[in-house]
Amino acid sequence: MTAMGGIGAIHAGQGVITVAAGVSLDSLMRTVVPQGWFVPVSPGTSFVTVGGAIAADIHGKNHHVDGSFCDHVLSFEMRTPDGELRVVLPDRDPEVFWATAGGMGLTGVITSATLRLLRIETSRIRVDTDRVSDIDELMALMESGDAHYRYSVAWIDPLAGGRHLGRAVLSRGDHASLADLDERERRDPLRFNPVSRLAAPPWMPNGLVRRATVQAFNEVWFRKAPKSQRDALHSLRAFFHPLDGVRGWNRVYGSQGFLQYQLVVPTGEEDTLRNLVERLSSAGSPSFISVLKRFGPGHGLLSFPIAGWTLTVDLPTGVAGLGQLLDELDERVVEAGGRVYLAKDSRLRPHLLPRMYPELTRWREIQAALDPKGVMRSDLARRLHLVSSSRDA
């Protein structure tokens, strides 16, 4: 998809830009940051395309304030399965727009999009860091303080249990203003040169990721974080995409790899969240640092975010019993009125999908109208029976 390149000019003053769907957020940032603009939503990796960002209606550390990617899309162009090239605007064609936002690519092929960028004065983030010793303290701190920060994310140690359950490093900040920089840095406030990429060795021994080694890693990681730090300046890359600097970081999981499990439970389900963290911690699957953050409300029919708490865990797939554990977690998430993120899903049982996504029926109707012959397919759609089965032959 990255072959569909092309970045238009930024409309002066407005920060409105039209880009081809295959442009990655990485290359978009390389173009717009030096001109004083930033992407409205940035996920944990910059190696995603604009088309993919719409299809998964991606979120970032600012969801509680700014919403998800499609909340900043003014329009997109899409080739629908009937061959027609449509320009879709949220006001003029809300059904198609919000079925495509988070629609996992099944409504058509997005070819370009017009977005509203965010004005920035510098390419630094001013960050406050707090080390928090358990999950209750963490949730209280996030509830009371997140509204004061554009960006907020907590890195949780998923292996800590007992009174350290959910110990975390909370990292919150906003774009630094010119006044935050010292004299030397002020000369080039929008400097943006993402680090040259290191590569993980092409071959990693299997069995590196065991509970003991991961526990040791997490311990060191937690200890080295500052207990409480205010107004530290971080680069965009270091704050948003720390892993993008290491090519093939996933190889550390060995040949069997890992899967990522991301769930959200609504606000008010803090007890459920604590139980889920507890279950993961006691299951003892060797997981590196996990992510907790808060969402505001979402809009797309199949968009993942709902106002609440979202937890993301990496789990090595070589561990026996993982399927049952995640099935069990799914049930608890559904009971609480939550859901899992389709963009990351690789094992959900299809019967839970309608309960997780109550707008599924409406989405299917719109999708079927756009694709009456059932041209659009994906492995995800097959596995979760996303598109109606009458056209599934």
Contact 57, 300 (CB under 8 A): yes
**Residue 205 interacts with other proteins (CB under 8 A)?**
no
**Residue 3 interacts with other proteins (CB under 8 A)?**
no
- The least CB distance from residue 386 to other proteins, in Å, is 11
**Selected binder of other proteins within 111, 215, 275, 317 (CB under 8 A):** 317
**Residue 54 interacts with other proteins (CB under 8 A)?**
no
Distances in Å between the Cα of 355 and the Cα atoms of 37, 155, 360 are 39, 29, 9
Q: How many other CB atoms sit within 10 Å of the CB of residue 224? A: 9
Short-list 164, 161, 163, CA closest to 281: 161
Q: Would you say 32 or 106 has its CB closer to other proteins? A: 106
- Which range, of 4-12, 44-52, 72-80, 376-384, touches other proteins by CB under 8 A? 376-384
Mask: binding to other proteins, 123-152, rule CB under 8 A, as x and -?
------------------------------
Q: Could you tell me how many helices (H) and strands (E) the chain has, helices first? A: 13, 16
**Residue 390 interacts with other proteins (CB under 8 A)?**
no
**Selected binder of other proteins within 177, 213, 346, 361 (CB under 8 A):** 346
**Residue 322 interacts with other proteins (CB under 8 A)?**
yes
For the stretch 199-206, contacts whose Cβ atoms lie closer than 8 Å and that sit 24 or more positions apart, written own/partner, are 199/246, 199/247, 199/248, 200/246, 200/247, 200/248, 200/249, 200/250, 200/251, 200/252, 201/251, 202/248, 202/251, 203/251, 204/251, 204/252, 204/253, 204/254, 205/254, 206/254, 206/255, 206/256, 206/318
Q: Give dist(CA 353, CA 336) in Å, integer.
A: 14
**Residue 204 interacts with other proteins (CB under 8 A)?**
no
Q: Would you say 28 or 387 has its CB closer to other proteins? A: 387
Short-list 310, 274, 304, CA closest to 291: 310
Q: Would you say 211 or 349 has its CB closer to other proteins? A: 349
Q: Would you say 187 or 351 has its CB closer to other proteins? A: 351
234 burial level (CB within 10 Å; 0-12, 13-18, 19+): middle
Q: Would you say 45 or 317 has its CB closer to other proteins? A: 317
- Pairing type for strands 246-247 and 198-199 reads parallel
- Residues 224-283, interacting with other proteins (CB under 8 A): 256, 259
**Selected binder of other proteins within 251, 347, 355, 362 (CB under 8 A):** 347
**Selected binder of other proteins within 349, 354, 358, 388 (CB under 8 A):** 349
Q: Give dist(CA 357, CA 298) in Å, integer.
A: 12
Q: Would you say 220 or 393 has its CB closer to other proteins? A: 393
Task: List, as one string, the DSSP characters of 64-92.
Answer: HHH--GGGGEEEEEEE-TTS-EEEE-TTT
- The least CB distance from residue 261 to other proteins, in Å, is 10
Q: Would you say 204 or 232 has its CB closer to other proteins? A: 204
**Selected binder of other proteins within 34, 145, 266, 318 (CB under 8 A):** 318
Q: Would you say 255 or 267 has its CB closer to other proteins? A: 255
Which residues contact other proteins (rule: CB under 8 A)?
256, 259, 317-318, 322-323, 346-347, 349-350, 379, 382-383, 389, 392-393
